[in-house]
Structure 1
Amino acid sequence: MDVPFTSPAPREHHRRRIVPGITLATPTRKVIVVPATSTGRKGRVRHPVCELIATRRIAKGWSQCELATKLHAMSGNDSVTREEVSRWERGKRIPGPYWRQWLSNALDTSCHELELAAAVARNHRRCQDD
């Protein structure tokens, strides 16, 4: 008696919650950018701070650990770690004014651009909470 071939049930993969504005990159997967943008008064697209930090860091070819090390060297403050950079890039936390100043120096971007990006991230959070 022939038994029809059935494929095994698909495995349940652990899926990370993808937050808009995150850049995901791993050695085995291609880079994925989940867009979360806002349009400013003049019609320019504004990106949240998590996306801005990740794209600027990747453009410089730095790892999260390297960015944390550079921030530590520049500021003299050892409270920033790779884990904190990861939280910023995943949108779990928004860097405060102190770290935004140092990030602007490290990533060669203006403080104003980081302030606007932080405002977009805060607005995005408020919209998710409603």
Structure 2
Amino acid sequence: MAAWHSFNDTWEDVMASGNELGELVRRLRRRQRLTRRRLSDRVRRVSGDPAINPDRLREWELGRYVPDRYWRGWLAIALGVPRDSVDRAAAVADGRRRTRRRGQAADHRRAVASGSVAGGSV
């Protein structure tokens, strides 16, 4: 699980991607030539928790969800990278998701206020 050199090589690219944690997990997984199934098996083995599966990993990699601290710790161990690096990438990803949601909410409020919401007037 010697992925640390890979992590250093890709950190700046990952941070610029807009999907920091997902991109980090995907790149490290691919550099270690792991399928999502093999990585989820590895996470299950180190955590002892059967709840992880390839579909959940896919959701994390796509940035649809940011794993909580519990899963980030096991991901770091399974990928062979420092926990704080995974937490940092998650914090940036979560911050961007919140900013995006606030922007979408503001857009919706403006549309409602102007009466231009889908389906007719308000």
The TM-score range, normalised by the shorter chain, is 0.5 to 0.7
Q: Does 1:78 align with 2:50?
A: yes
The amino acid across from 1:81 in the alignment is: N
Q: Counting strand residues as a fraction of each chain, which structure ranks higher?
A: 1
Q: How many residues align?
A: 90
Structure with bigger gyration radius: 1
Q: Aligned-pair RMSD on alpha carbons?
A: 2.1
Give unpaired runs (5+ residues) of structure 1: 1-34, 39-44
Equivalent residue, structure 2, for 1:62: 34
Structure 1 pair 76–101 and aligned structure 2 pair: CA distance change class (3 A): same
Equivalent residue, structure 1, for 2:7: none
1: CA distance, partners of 2:14 / 2:53:
25
Q: Give runs of ≥4 in structure 1 deviating > 2 Å.
A: 35-38
2: CA distance, partners of 1:85 / 1:37:
19
Normalised to the residue count of structure 2, the TM-score between the two structures is 0.67
User: 1:70-127, CA deviations, whole angstroms, 9 ceiling, x for partnerless residues?
Assistant: 1111111100010000000000111111111111111111111011100110111122
Structure 1 pair 118–87 and aligned structure 2 pair: CA distance change class (3 A): same
Q: Does 1:110 align with 2:88?
A: no
- The higher relative CO (CA closer than 8 Å, separation ≥ 6) is in 2
Q: Does 1:98 align with 2:70?
A: yes
Normalised to the residue count of structure 1, the TM-score between the two structures is 0.64
2: CA distance, partners of 1:126 / 1:75:
29
Percent identity of the aligned residues?
27
Contact 2:15 2:89 in 1 (8 A): no
Shift of 1:37: 3.3
